[in-house]
Amino acid sequence: MNIETYRPTIVVGVSGTPASARALRWAADETERRDGQLKVVLIWSAGQRAYYAPSVSPLDLAASERRASEELTTTLTAVLGHGPHGNLIVEVAKGTAERALVEQSAGADLLVLGCASGHLAGRSIGPVIRTCLSWAHCPVVIVGPEGPFSHDHATQTGGAADAERGDQAWELAGAVPVPRR
């Protein structure tokens, strides 16, 4: 009898920034911990052009998409190394980052994003994170530049309920659990 076991899917958005590299590292560690599948997504956009501007040639679009794919490969190698990654799905998705990441979250168990500005309390967040927090189809984890998010830190910042839940390991890489609405 062949019994398939459920493997959670973690989606991480990367953009070539140090914040997204931290998010990728955290997501890879969490995927390994959960024996899951990691889907790494880089959103590619041809850029908005005014309606009166000349259209972009198909060759230029293809070259731009190829550069995005090469950037993703470079990021993966820098963060995860050259080893075999059997639990890895890599995708270059076309569209706006906000919309594409929300679409990618459908069917996922977790969406992981990087944030350069640190803990979310009292700080401004960008439109991609704001949209994903509002519209993602799964829980969202924001990985910031701080040190570990520990039980003591959660208690000091009012997150005692999150710290007391034993089912989530938010201590890794400064991840900040974001409650769902």
Tens digit of pLDDT for each residue in 48-96?
677 777 777 778 778 888 888 888 888 888 898 877 677 899 999 988 9
Buried b (16+ CB within 10 A) or exposed e, 49-87: eeeeeeeeeeeeeeeeeeebeebbeebbeebbeeeeeeb
What confidence score (pLDDT) does residue 168 get? Answer: 37
Answer yes or no: are the C-beta atoms of 140 and 101 closer than 8 Å. no
DSSP 21-72: HHHHHHHHHHHHHHT-EEEEEEEE------TTSPPPPHHHHHHHHHHHHHHH
Nearest partner of 124 among 132, 115, 136, 112, judged by Cα: 115
Q: pLDDT tens across 12-53, in order?
A: 999 988 999 999 999 999 999 999 999 999 998 876 677 777
When the pLDDT of each residue in the chain is averaged and rounded to a whole number, the result is: 77
**Is residue 75 classed as helix, strand or coil in its secondary structure?**
helix
User: Given this structure, which CATH class describes domain 9-48+56-178?
Assistant: alpha beta
Output the pLDDT for position 148.
29
